[in-house]
Amino acid sequence: MEFLTDYGLFLAKSVTLVVAILFVVGSLVALGQKQKKQHDGDIDITHLNDRLKKFKQALEDSILSKDLIKSQEKARKKKAKEEKKARKSKPVEELEDKARVFVLDFDGDIKASEVSRLREEITAVLTLAKDKDEVVIRLESPGGMVHGYGLAASQLERIRQKNIPLTVCVDKVAASGGYLMACLANKIVAAPFSIIGSIGVVAQLPNFHRLLKKHDIDFEVLTAGEYKRTLTVFGENTEKGRQKFVEDLEETHVLFKEFVNEHRPQVDIDEVSKGEIWYGRRALDRQLVDEIMTSDDYLASKCEESDVYLVHYLEKKSLAEKVGLSMAKVAETLALKVSKLSSNKV
């Protein structure tokens, strides 16, 4: 009995500690949100050519014989020496004649949240990129809010306006808002089973009016303007409001179709704009994409002829955000330990 009492006290103290830590974390996060400011970030650059060379060299060191490795290393050094000598003999204006490829990643959610990071990366790239260079966007998105993806597409439009070749690589999915972005590219490269298309518009919302009415709860929606609110979650929806809502969806769909048709005039817009999706190979048949290939193969081929750089914007976190993340990790660890203890049999 004494053991059970001690164990109960220990468990109560542990739970209290976890709750206290979670409270502190919540307070810090709330403070961080309240005092949130735009923090300057850093641009992180990775030279993918060097990364690929390291992978190759690591495999060679593990697989090839020592004599062959020595011979290849000697040949590499000789080639590097010759290239260095050739560069010295060139005029200064010809030293930077090698094309560069700038790689950006966009992993889209329903709000296109990464557009804030994408805009910083594009701004950085445009300070240096020239029309002989190329920008590659590795795009993954099932779509989302119209205004969010409209802004994301506008960021890609900045690259086109500078006459810099733009390529979008899709390994998994570029549908709806994702395809709205992708169609801006000069070239769309898609993996064989990537999901492409969904050129349509959808909206859905629940309505609790009958439930509220059943419990004698009134809900009023006051507006100024006939169509300020068409459909509501809690109020009674009218056929007139529903019709207006559908008209707005249709208008958005028309804008979507016009946008795709403008940037990919080769597609049969009436055929592909019914909200359907296609896998990569079928999308190629409908000219929604230009080539079937993974982004890995595409970038590896580019490394053979160009300097390829992965560009990533790292936003600096405030002190409150850093402390909050650290405390959250501690709380998670403690909660896991307490959970394991409480599951033990006595």
Within 10 A of 182 (CB to CB), how many other CB atoms are there? 28
Which tokens go with 151? Answer: 């802004």
**Rounded CA separation 257/273 (Å):** 7
Strand stretches in 198-305, DSSP E: 277-279, 291-292
**Rounded CA separation 289/195 (Å):** 11
Which 8-state DSSP code applies to residue 141?
A: B
In angstroms, the Cα distances linking 189 to 80, 153, 169, 174, 288 are 33, 17, 5, 11, 10
Instruction: Name the 3-class secondary structure at 43.
Output: strand
Place of tokens 């992965």: 310
**Rounded CA separation 280/296 (Å):** 16
| Crossing angle between the packed helical segments 295-303 and 48-63, to the nearest 10 degrees | 90
Contact 320, 28 (CB under 8 A): yes
Smallest Cα–Cα separation from 237: which of 291, 38, 246, 71? 246
Q: Which residues participate in catalysis according to the annotation? A: 176, 228
Place of tokens 């200064």: 92
Instruction: Name the 3-class secondary structure at 127.
Output: coil
Smallest Cα–Cα separation from 139: which of 102, 109, 98, 170? 170
* Buried/exposed code over 86-95 (b: 16+ C-beta within 10 A; e: otherwise): eeeeeeeeee
